[in-house]
């Protein structure tokens, strides 16, 4: 070891002391290593100095920092157990390669490129190797300590922020933001199941849970709740999968793709695991909060639905309302209600038109097969299009009463995974509660067929009215029909309640009965509509009676209501039947409702006009 070499190396050590005092510990390791190499190059009169890290996947050292410019040197294969190696670098240059351990699990190497006419003594190279190993290890430890402090500070900030929010989207956004701050050169994805309907531009991918597919590392992380790592071949990358795990379940997986292929250090795996567990706890709290809100909303939906169904005594009206409610609440495209009776399946009126078409048969058969096989889960997120049709999501709920299946409700959607399992359970509850209303509506209609008096108004039933008109048109010379509809009756129910609405209906019925002859027939036509048939009464008298009744209704009801009237009339030479008489009266009533209400329209066999 000559004196000049020693002097230059001692000068490097002295200048390193001054460099270290001015060193900024918030810089990346590669930048700090580059400054240290530049100082070494200057003091030892080197052509270049490059720092390498070992990649165990490719079994080679790859450049990490250089004294001059970017580290664009080519990778160098591992050289067995050698600590110092001097090789010909081509041309007038030689290269001394100094191998050492940067940490317990990370081999490193420094390559010193110098001119052949200015070589180094082997003892000096060993001394430089020993010193550089200590310097780089201490430099790495200092920067790693600072980095760890910052990272765990960010983790603390992350935990505080996500635990202060009860919104799932906010939690997921903060996961990505924190990862981008800590690992800016990595690529991230959140792997979530189909049940997560989220908005925004989050990097979310669907986590496929299919037993037929090969189990991936991501799926293993989700199922086991343990961190999984794998290596990509093209391009070569290392990928880490960290489960977002709470106390009750695993809610997804964080996918981290490194910009290189090298095993993740244990400290990085530990940090990402902590972040994912913290996120899992916050996500679980957010989900529980949303579930509680959804439960309250579900109970409110069931309560409102039952109230509306009880206000619709006719079965087809109740079915139509339920179909509309299911479409609005669940996003269903088609809804069908089926009744089981005498070993047959009957499609109920009010179902959407699709179920009246033969194209619905594959979906109905699918539900029936699962039901008959004892499978209570009548739900599929994505059925095979080729075997069915354009609808991908399907769920069905039985209509049960006293543990007996009375029927079935089927809901379809064209979008795959449109229905969540929570929606399916809510549909079951909704249909279960509504079944009683349906059965009551059916029983009511059956009873109405058996009696001639309406249970509420005490007027005759529509069936009885039909029979009277048919008899009159066969024996009398002429007659008139008046239809009454209580104006804004729905508002009465909404404002005062259904009991008040019923009382108003009774008041109107009593007013009608008090203003007709004993031989006339007053009937409840349906809902808030009443009808009066006047046998052997000319049209002019029928109009007078309609006027008298409308005036009395306005004067005598509490709260005050008005009625709209439609009048039709027949005579024997007209050759019309009861159906036409009803149709003309209904058209007149429609015009009365459409042109301001609280008025009378007449539809004789030729004209439709207001009186």
How far apart CA 68 and CA 42 sit, in angstroms, is: 11
Spatial contact of 318 and 438, defined as CB atoms under 8 Å apart: yes
For residue 254, what are the β-bridge partners? 190, 242
DSSP three-state, residue 262: coil
How many Cα atoms are found within 13 Å in the side-chain-facing hemisphere of 438?
A: 28
What is the average pLDDT across 70-89? 77
pLDDT at 401: 85
Q: Residue 223: what are its φ and ψ, rounded to 5°?
A: -80, -35
Query: What superfamily would CATH give domain 462-610?
Result: Reverse transcriptase/Diguanylate cyclase domain (3.30.70.270)
The pLDDT value given to residue 505: 95
pLDDT of residue 514: 93
Task: Indicate whether 355 pLDDT > 90.
Answer: yes
Which helix (H) or strand (E) segment is 257 a member of?
Answer: strand 250-257
* Highest mean pLDDT of the ranges 70-74, 208-212, 287-291: 287-291
Q: Which residue matches tokens 């070891």?
A: 1
**Which of 115-119, 154-158, 316-320 ranks highest by mean pLDDT?**
316-320
Sheet holding 379-380, edge to edge: 344-347, 334-341, 404-413, 393-401, 379-380
The domain limits of the chain are 3-146, 166-289, 312-440, 462-610
Position 491 scores a pLDDT of 92
Which whole-number Å values give the CA distances from 281 to 247, 250, 269, 402, in the listed order? 7, 10, 18, 42
Structure tokens at 60: 């080679």
Percent of the chain with pLDDT over 90: 27
Residues 6+ apart with CB under 8 A from 7: none
**166-289 sits in which CATH class?**
alpha beta
Answer whether 127's CB lies under 8 Å from 121's CB.
no
Name the phi and psi angles at 527, rounded to 5: 60, -120
Closest by CA position to 159, among listed 277, 330, 322, 34: 277
Residue 513 confidence (pLDDT) above 90: yes
3-146 folds as Beta-Lactamase (3.30.450)
For the chain, give the mean pLDDT: 83
What's residue 524's pLDDT?
92
Give the integer Cα–Cα distance in Å for 115 and 45: 9
Instruction: Name the least confident of 164-178, 245-259, 353-367.
Output: 164-178
The 10s digit of each residue's pLDDT in 247-292 is 888 888 989 888 776 777 787 888 888 888 888 888 888 777 777 7
* Of the listed ranges 94-98, 382-386, 517-521, the one predicted with least confidence: 382-386
**Are residues 481 and 539 in contact, defined by beta-carbon separation less than 8 angstroms?**
no
Which of the residues 173, 528, 571, 576 is marked catalytic? 528
- Report whether pLDDT(195) > 70: no
Longest pairwise C-alpha distance within the chain: 141
Residues 6/43, Cβ–Cβ less than 8 Å? no
What are 409-468's pLDDT values in tens digits? Answer: 999 999 888 888 888 888 999 998 888 888 888 888 777 666 778 888 889 988 889 989
* Torsion angles phi and psi, residue 287, rounded to 5: -65, -40
3-state secondary structure of 49: strand
- What pLDDT is recorded for position 332? 93
Using one digit for the tens of pLDDT, what is the confidence trace for 300-351?
Answer: 888 888 888 888 888 888 999 999 999 998 999 999 999 988 788 899 999 9
4-18, 247-261, 511-525 — most confident range: 511-525
pTM higher than 0.85:
no
Superfamily of domain 312-440: GAF domain (3.30.450.40)
CA gap 516, 546 in Å, rounded: 10
Distance CA 335, CA 435 (A): 15
Half-sphere exposure at residue 497, Cβ-oriented, CA atoms within 13 angstroms = 2
* pLDDT single digits (tens) 466-499: 989 999 998 888 999 999 999 999 999 999 999 9
Closest CA to 463 of 521, 545, 536: 521
- Would you state the torsion angle of the CA atoms of residues 565, 571, 572, 575, taken in this order, to the nearest 10 degrees? -60
Under 8 Å between Cβ of 13 and 39: no
Determine how many CB atoms are found less than 10 A away from the CB of residue 528.
21
- Higher-pLDDT residue of 74 and 131 is 131
pLDDT score at 288: 79
Task: Please report which helix (H) or strand (E) contains residue 317, including its range.
Answer: helix 315-330
- 528 flagged as catalytic: yes
Q: What whole-number distance in Å separates Cα of residue 380 and Cα of residue 419?
A: 8
Q: What is the DSSP letter of 472?
A: H
Helices (H), 164-262: 168-182, 217-224
**CA neighbours within 13 Å on the CB side: how many for 495?**
7
Tell me whether domains 166-289 and 462-610 share a fold. no
Beta-bridge partners for 563 = 486
**187 by DSSP, 3-state: which?**
strand
The answer to whether 243 touches 256, Cβ cutoff 8 Å, is no
Cα 364 to Cα 357: distance, rounded to the nearest angstrom = 11
Query: CA-CA distances (angstroms) from residue 566 to 278, 507, 543, 545?
Result: 70, 20, 10, 12
Determine the pLDDT at residue 385: 59
């Amino acid at each position: 070891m000559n004196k000049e070499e020693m002097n230059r190396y001692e000068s490097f050590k002295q200048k390193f002391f001054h460099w270290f005092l001015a060193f900024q510990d918030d810089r990346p390791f590669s930048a700090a290593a580059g400054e240290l190499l530049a100082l070494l190059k200057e003091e030892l009169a080197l052509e270049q100095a490059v720092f390498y890290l070992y990649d165990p996947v490719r079994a080679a050292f790859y450049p990490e920092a250089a004294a001059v410019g970017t580290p664009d040197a080519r990778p160098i294969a591992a050289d067995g157990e050698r600590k110092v190696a001097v090789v010909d670098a081509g041309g007038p240059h030689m290269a001394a390669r100094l191998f050492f351990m940067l940490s317990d699990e990370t081999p490193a190497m420094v390559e010193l490129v110098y001119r052949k006419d200015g070589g180094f003594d082997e003892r000096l190279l060993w001394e430089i190797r020993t010193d550089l190993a200590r310097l780089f290890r201490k430099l790495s430890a200092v920067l790693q300590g600072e980095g760890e402090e910052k990272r765990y500070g960010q983790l603390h900030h992350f935990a505080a922020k996500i635990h202060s929010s009860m919104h799932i989207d906010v939690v997921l956004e903060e996961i990505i933001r924190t990862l981008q701050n800590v690992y800016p050169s990595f690529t991230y994805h959140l792997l979530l199941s189909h049940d997560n309907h989220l908005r925004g531009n989050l990097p979310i991918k669907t986590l496929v849970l299919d037993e037929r597919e090969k189990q991936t590392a991501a799926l293993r992380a989700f199922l086991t709740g343990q961190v999984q790592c794998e290596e990509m071949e093209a391009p070569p990358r290392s990928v880490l999968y960290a489960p977002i795990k709470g106390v009750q379940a695993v809610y997804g997986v964080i996918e981290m793709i490194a910009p290189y292929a090298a095993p993740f250090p244990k400290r990085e795996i530990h940090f990402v695991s902590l972040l994912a567990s913290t996120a899992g706890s916050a996500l679980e709290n957010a989900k529980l909060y949303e579930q509680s809100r959804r439960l309250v909303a579900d109970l409110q939906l069931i309560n409102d639905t039952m109230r509306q169904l009880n206000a619709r005594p006719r079965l087809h009206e109740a079915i139509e309302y339920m179909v509309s409610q299911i479409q609005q609440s669940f996003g269903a495209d088609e809804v069908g209600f089926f009744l089981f009776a005498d070993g047959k399946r009957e499609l109920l009126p009010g179902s959407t038109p699709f179920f009246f078409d033969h194209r619905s048969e594959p979906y109905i058969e699918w539900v029936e097969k699962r039901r008959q096989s004892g499978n209570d889960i009548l739900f599929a997120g994505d059925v095979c299009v080729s075997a069915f049709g354009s609808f991908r999501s399907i769920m069905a709920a039985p209509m049960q009463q006293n543990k007996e299946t009375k029927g079935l409700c089927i809901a379809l959607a064209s979008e795959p995974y449109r229905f969540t399992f929570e929606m399916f359970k809510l549909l079951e509850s909704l249909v279960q509660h509504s079944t009683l209303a349906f059965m009551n509506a059916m029983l009511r209609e059956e009873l109405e067929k058996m009696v001639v008096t309406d249970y509420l108004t005490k007027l005759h039933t529509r069936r009885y009215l039909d029979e009277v008109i048919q008899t009159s048109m066969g024996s009398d010379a002429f007659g008139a029909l008046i239809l009454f509809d209580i104006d804004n009756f729905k508002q009465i129910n909404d404002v005062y309640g259904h009991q008040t609405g019923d009382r108003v209906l009774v008041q109107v019925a009593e007013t009608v009965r008090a203003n007709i002859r004993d031989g006339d027939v007053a009937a409840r036509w349906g809902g808030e509509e009443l009808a009066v048939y006047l046998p052997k009464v000319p049209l002019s008298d029928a109009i007078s009676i309609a006027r008298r009744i409308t005036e009395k209704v306005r004067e005598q009801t509490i709260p005050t209501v008005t009625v709209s009237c439609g009048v039709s009339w027949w005579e024997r030479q007209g050759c019309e039947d009861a159906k036409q008489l009803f149709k003309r009266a209904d058209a007149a009533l429609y015009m009365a409702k459409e042109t301001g209400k609280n008025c009378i329209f007449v539809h004789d066999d030729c004209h439709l006009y207001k009186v």
